[in-house]
Amino acid sequence: MTASKLVVVSCLFLALLLVQVNSQGLKVGFYGKTCPKAEGIVRKVVFAAMKKAPTLGAPLLRMFFHDCFVRGCDGSVLLELKNKQDEKNATPNLSLRGFGIIDDSKAALEKVCPGIVSCSDVLALIARDAMVALEGPSWEVETGRRDGRVTNISEVNLPSPFDNITKLITDFGTLGLDEKDLVVLSGGHTIGMGHCPLMTNRLYNFTGRGDSDPSLDSEYAAKLRLKCKPTDTTTALEMDPGSFRTFDVSYFSLVAKRRGLFQSDAALLDNSKTRAHVFKLARTHGSTFFTDFGVSMVKMGRIGVLTGRAGEIRKSCRVPN
């Protein structure tokens, strides 16, 4: 083997090693030795907060999704810039809330083990604990993420409620999430609210002929027209009416009955693979939704993570050190 070949081969070996270290950087119980109380501390803060305000569960789940889909799960959604050109101020942030719970968790952690637990891990733990507080699924959260130092409003390119199935599958696929993950994670819409202007196009003049979206159940459309007038920008609708505070499988039966709120929910019926998953998950008895949700959340939590010596452990979740 010539010297240059040797260099190439050892570089390849090194690259492989790095990839492995990176994927092994996350693990369940990462803080077992360095901050054994970490998970308990976060859970206590979340349970106390949600006892007072159960509706916070939904935005807290959504916050982790928004963090992971922009620059990876690196806590960048929490950073604030003086000029407001941060992810928080991008349009889809409109209803992100619950930032105080992240600050409270982080403050409690810093008291016990300063400089050990990352804000990105706090987000991951809170998303799980908030679902447990709603009597939803539980899963083992991988930890060991480190925090990014960059946030940039122009990088926020989250899936849109107007997206079609091709776009959704591609965007999730780029991040390593398949059709099943897309369907299962969309099931997050079993809790929480969505605002009228993100769906009124489906109720009025959908194709310019004064019609509604043919993929929306017409009875349901009539009900929604009572709540959302064409110019209403403030009213919020329950995405899973009747049980928007309960993490259950009814989201999938709604979508199956063409009662998904957004075009992106309805779109799950437009592809044979995603449609099959919707119908399978819709079964109240024998649905695998809870276990599947945990599996897909862990997968989502691996997107673009910083581990090892990358990034930092922020002292305050709102500013880089």
Ligand X SMILES: *[C@@H]1O[C@H](CO)[C@@H](O)[C@H](O)[C@H]1NC(C)=O
**CB-nearer residue toward ligand HEM: 48 or 94:** 94
**CB-nearer residue toward ligand X: 100 or 308:** 100
Q: Which does 59 bind (CB under 5 to 8 A by kind): ligand HEM, ligand X, none?
A: ligand HEM
Name the amino acid, one letter, at 199.
M
Cα angle 123, 126, 127 (rounded to 5 degrees) comes to 85
How many Å is the maximal CA-CA distance in the chain?
77
Q: Which does 194 bind (CB under 5 to 8 A by kind): ligand HEM, ligand X, none?
A: ligand HEM
The token duo for 282 is 């819709």
**178-217 footprint of ligand X as x/- string (CB under 6 A):** ---------------------------x--x-x-------
Handedness of CA 248, 184, 215, 163 (dihedral sign): positive
Q: Is 277 known to be catalytic?
A: no
**Is residue 188 within 8 Å of residue 61, measured between CB atoms?**
yes
The string of DSSP letters for 243-254 reads -TTS--THHHHH
Site of tokens 């505070």:
245
Q: Which residues are annotated as a binding site for substrate?
A: 159
Q: Which of 66, 195, 277, 285 is catalytic?
A: 66
Among 23, 24, 166, 291, binds ligand X (CB under 6 A): 166
Q: Which does 192 bind (CB under 5 to 8 A by kind): ligand HEM, ligand X, none?
A: ligand HEM
For the bound state, the minimum distance from the C-beta of residue 170 to ligand X, rounded and expressed in Å, comes to: 9
Quick one: angle between helices 179-186 and 289-300, nearest 10? 110
Q: Which residues are annotated as a binding site for heme b?
A: 189
CA atoms within a 13 Å half-sphere pointing along the CA-CB vector of 135: 7
Q: What DSSP element (H or E) covers 237?
A: strand 236-238
- Cβ-proximal residue to ligand HEM, closest one: 192
Distances (CA, A) of 128 to 47, 99, 314: 11, 16, 21
* Binding positions for ligand HEM, rule: CB under 6 A: 58-59, 61-62, 65, 94-95, 159-161, 163, 168, 185-186, 188-189, 191-195, 198, 262, 264
For the bound state, the minimum distance from the C-beta of residue 271 to ligand HEM, rounded and expressed in Å, comes to: 13
Q: Which does 188 bind (CB under 5 to 8 A by kind): ligand HEM, ligand X, none?
A: ligand HEM
